[in-house]
């Protein structure tokens, strides 16, 4: 068939003819043209049907225009399948939601109203896709923000564990529950909370990353704080309460008094010595305590347990007195002494000086150790101040009792070097008997600056008793006195003016040290007296003759001179030469005088003869 295309002129003419025909019909039916309902004629619907149709179109168009992708709509479940829920939201078609989004609600049934959001208006099959999860998340975020501002409590399902805490479902929103915010007590097993519905408080929100942090601990603390205020208001010193051991530390025990914590210090647990609180109490144990003290705000409460029992000193027998011997167990050891429990809760101190008659210092650990059973004598007893001091050495005889018969002056003994001082050496002759050797009594010949140059601690040393003072318990000893004083013979051998051969062992600015054949004697030669005959000076290691110009036995000092040897010879030679010259002159003068005298005699004799002849 061939299609016929009408021209515009033909279309207009056709329409005109059609209108004319209609007008003719109206004229034949005696109907006025202006009263004719053209809309009903063209649509085929009367006015009532057209009004209903218009209302339906407005509803339909309104539903299409108002349905936005981010709008939350309340729908009704109209049908459930194995995998999906069909929800009516009064749209042109029903929406489909996967049952996985209702996993939290296992009781979902037909007729339930649920909140949904448009996920896709039409999928590839033309089906409307809705999301219950997105609607819950968006609405949950708004509700969570409201709860955060108001501080209201919210219920949440603990879904799973994560690093550092738990994941909690709050209105379909995943919130983080830190491990530290689960309970006021440290939690070891997180898995016990998985699957539980608990109350939480929203404590932190990050709008940028849509992060929510919740806390269960905050609710517990709020309850505890309320209970705490009630309990604190009723606290009084001396009040006895019952509590539960909450935490044990090395210095004490924290006790929960029903919302408020108090501390029992380790010293207030028992009258007996306690090394660690775990020896007395265990975690979770119920105990009776007494309030000892608290601060003004009653936030720090000091508790006690031993105060509920009678003091052990009250039960200490009245028959114990000074001088009695008692037995006990070493409970504490220190450098200065040991504490011995002589009765339950009653301890006495044995000072280290009371453990031995020895006078040199030692540690208490050298005599006893913790746990030892020891016997001691009561030295002091103060029941009012509840103090007792004990002694162990008193059980043995004082070695100074018969000291004069054992160590008389002049007697020789062998002792042990115990310690040094700058002025001497302490030598122990026996336990409790120490004597002092002054540094000047160690050697006749050696010049000792410190005793450690002469001997070592622990060395055995022969000594002689020089002095004994029983009242002062003082013993003076000597070591060099065991030998003859070599300086007695040195006094003669090295007398002033004697000459000896020696070696310059050391040469320094002021002079030189000279060693003679006797090793004990070391002389000093001043620098100006080291000059040799040729003008040079004696050097270190050189042998030469030296003349003693000074000898001091008391100070063990010998001063010598090398220069004095040849200077003295020179002086002697000069003196001898002078003597010879004087002798010759005297002889010549004598001869001259003699000759003169004899001549004079001859002249006189001749003159006498002439006189006699003249007569």
If you write DSSP's letter for every residue of 182-203 in order, what string do you get?
S-SSPPS-GGGGTT-EEEEEEE
pLDDT at position 593, please?
43
pLDDT digits (tens, 9 = 90+) for 416-471: 998 888 899 999 888 888 899 999 888 877 778 899 989 999 899 999 999 988 88
pLDDT at position 413, please?
92
Among 407, 355, 402, 398, CA closest to 377: 355
Tokens in use for 347?
């301890």
CATH of 486-572, one of 2.60.40.10, 3.40.50.880, 2.40.50.140, 3.10.20.30: 2.40.50.140
Domain 72-136 fold is OB fold (Dihydrolipoamide Acetyltransferase, E2P) (2.40.50)
**247 forms bridges with which residues in the sheet?**
254
**pLDDT tier at 603, thresholds 50, 70, 90:** very low
pLDDT digits (tens, 9 = 90+) for 165-211: 999 988 878 899 998 888 877 788 888 889 889 889 898 888 877 78
DSSP letter for each residue of 84-132: EEEEE-SSSS-EEEEGGGGTT-TT--TT-EEEEEEEES--TTSPEEEEH
pLDDT digits (tens, 9 = 90+) for 14-69: 545 544 555 454 444 444 445 556 566 565 666 676 676 676 666 555 554 455 55
Distance CA(490)–CA(488), nearest Å, equals 5
Among 310, 266, 279, 308, CA closest to 291: 308
User: What percent of the chain has pLDDT above 90?
Assistant: 18
pLDDT at position 557, please?
86
**pLDDT tier at 511, thresholds 50, 70, 90:** very high
pLDDT at position 222, please?
79
Q: Are 340 and 328 in contact (CB under 8 A)?
A: yes
Q: Are 539 and 576 in contact (CB under 8 A)?
A: no
pLDDT digits (tens, 9 = 90+) for 381-400: 888 888 899 999 888 888 88
Quick check: helix, strand or coil at residue 480?
helix
Quick check: helix, strand or coil at residue 16?
helix
Q: Are strands 240-248 and 346-351 parallel, antiparallel or unpaired?
A: unpaired
- Please say if the pLDDT value at position 273 is more than 70: yes
Q: Are strands 261-265 and 301-304 parallel, antiparallel or unpaired?
A: parallel
What is the reported pTM? Answer: 0.41
Q: CA triplet 486, 492, 496: central angle to 5 degrees?
A: 120
CATH class of 399-478: mainly beta
- Please say if the pLDDT value at position 100 is more than 70: yes
pLDDT at position 361, please?
62
The CATH superfamily label for domain 235-308 reads Nucleic acid-binding proteins (2.40.50.140)
- Please say if the pLDDT value at position 600 is more than 70: no
pLDDT at position 39, please?
62
- Please say if the pLDDT value at position 588 is more than 70: no
pLDDT digits (tens, 9 = 90+) for 229-263: 777 777 888 888 899 998 999 999 999 887 788 89
Domain 312-393 fold is OB fold (Dihydrolipoamide Acetyltransferase, E2P) (2.40.50)
Residues of the chain with CATH 2.40.50.140: 72-136, 151-221, 235-308, 312-393, 399-478, 486-572
Longest dimension (CA), the chain: 256
**Residues in CB range of 199: below 8 A, 6 or more apart:** 153, 154, 155, 156, 216, 219
Buried b (16+ CB within 10 A) or exposed e, 76-99: ebeeeeeeebbbebebeebbbbee
The architecture that CATH gives domain 151-221 is Beta Barrel (2.40)
- Please say if the pLDDT value at position 525 is more than 90: yes
User: What percent of the chain has pLDDT above 70?
Assistant: 79
- Strands (E) across 284-386 are located at 286-294, 301-304, 325-334, 337-343, 346-351, 373-382
Q: Select the more confidently predicted residue: 401 or 37.
A: 401
**pLDDT tier at 226, thresholds 50, 70, 90:** confident
Q: Are 395 and 350 in contact (CB under 8 A)?
A: no
Section 117-128 average pLDDT: 71
């Amino acid at each position: 068939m061939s299609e016929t295309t009408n021209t515009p002129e033909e279309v207009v003419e056709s329409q005109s003819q059609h209108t004319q025909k209609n007008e003719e019909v109206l004229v034949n039916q005696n109907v006025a043209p202006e009263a004719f309902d053209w809309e009903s004629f063209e649509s085929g619907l009367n006015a009532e049907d057209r009004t209903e149709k218009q209302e339906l179109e407005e509803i339909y168009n309104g539903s299409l225009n108002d349905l936005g992708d981010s709008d939350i709509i309340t729908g009704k479940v109209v049908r459930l399948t194995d995998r999906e829920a069909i929800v009516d939201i009064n749209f042109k078609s029903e929406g489909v939601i996967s049952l996985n989004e209702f996993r939290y609600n296992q009781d979902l049934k037909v007729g339930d109203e649920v909140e949904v959001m448009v996920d896709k208006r039409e999928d590839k099959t033309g089906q409307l896709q809705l999301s219950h999860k997105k609607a819950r998340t968006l609405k949950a975020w708004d509700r969570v923000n409201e709860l955060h501002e108001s501080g209201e409590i919210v219920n949440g399902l603990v879904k799973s564990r994560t690093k550092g805490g738990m994941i909690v479902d709050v209105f379909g929103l995943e919130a983080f529950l830190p491990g530290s915010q689960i309970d006021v007590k440290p939690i070891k097993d997180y898995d016990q909370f998985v699957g539980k519905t608990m109350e939480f408080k929203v404590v932190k929100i990050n709008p940028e990353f849509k992060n929510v942090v919740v806390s269960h601990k905050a609710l517990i603390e709020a309850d505890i704080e309320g209970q705490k205020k009630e309990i604190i208001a009723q606290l009084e010193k001396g009040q006895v309460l019952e509590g539960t051991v909450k935490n044990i530390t090395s210095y004490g025990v924290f006790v929960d008094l029903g919302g408020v914590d108090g501390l029992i210090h380790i010293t207030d647990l028992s009258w007996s010595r306690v090394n660690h609180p775990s020896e007395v109490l265990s975690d979770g144990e119920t105990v009776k305590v007494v309030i000892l003290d608290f601060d003004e705000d009653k936030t720090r409460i000091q508790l006690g347990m031993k105060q509920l029992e009678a003091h052990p000193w009250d039960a200490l027998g009245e028959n114990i007195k000074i001088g009695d011997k008692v037995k006990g167990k070493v409970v504490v050891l220190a450098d200065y002494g040991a504490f011995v429990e002589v009765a339950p809760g009653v301890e006495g101190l044995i000072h280290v000086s009371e453990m031995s008659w020895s006078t040199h210092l030692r540690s208490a650990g050298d005599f006893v150790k913790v746990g030892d059973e020891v016997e001691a004598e009561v030295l002091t007893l103060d029941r009012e101040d509840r103090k007792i001091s004990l002694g162990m050495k008193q059980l043995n005889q004082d070695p100074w009792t018969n000291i004069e018969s054992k160590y008389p002056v002049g007697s020789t003994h062998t002792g042990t070097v115990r310690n040094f001082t700058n002025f001497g050496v302490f030598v122990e002759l026996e336990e409790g008997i120490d004597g002092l050797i002054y540094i000047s009594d160690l050697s006749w010949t050696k010049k000792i600056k410190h005793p450690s140059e002469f001997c070592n601690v622990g060395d055995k040393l022969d000594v002689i008793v020089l002095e004994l003072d029983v009242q002062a318990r003082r013993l003076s000893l000597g070591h060099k006195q065991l030998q003859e004083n070599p300086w007695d013979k040195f006094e003669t051998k090295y007398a002033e003016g004697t000459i000896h051969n020696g070696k310059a062992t050391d040469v320094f600015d002021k002079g030189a040290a000279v060693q003679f054949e006797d090793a004990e004697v070391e002389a000093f030669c001043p620098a100006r007296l080291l000059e040799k005959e040729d003008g040079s000076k004696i050097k270190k290691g050189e042998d030469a003759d030296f003349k003693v110009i000074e000898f001091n036995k008391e100070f063990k000092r010998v001063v010598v001179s090398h220069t004095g040897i040849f200077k003295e010879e020179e002086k002697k030679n000069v003196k001898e030469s002078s003597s010879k010259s004087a002798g010759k002159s005297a002889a010549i003068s004598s001869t001259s005088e003699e000759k003169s005298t004899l001549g004079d005699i001859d002249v006189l004799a001749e003159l006498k003869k002439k006189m006699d002849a003249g007569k």
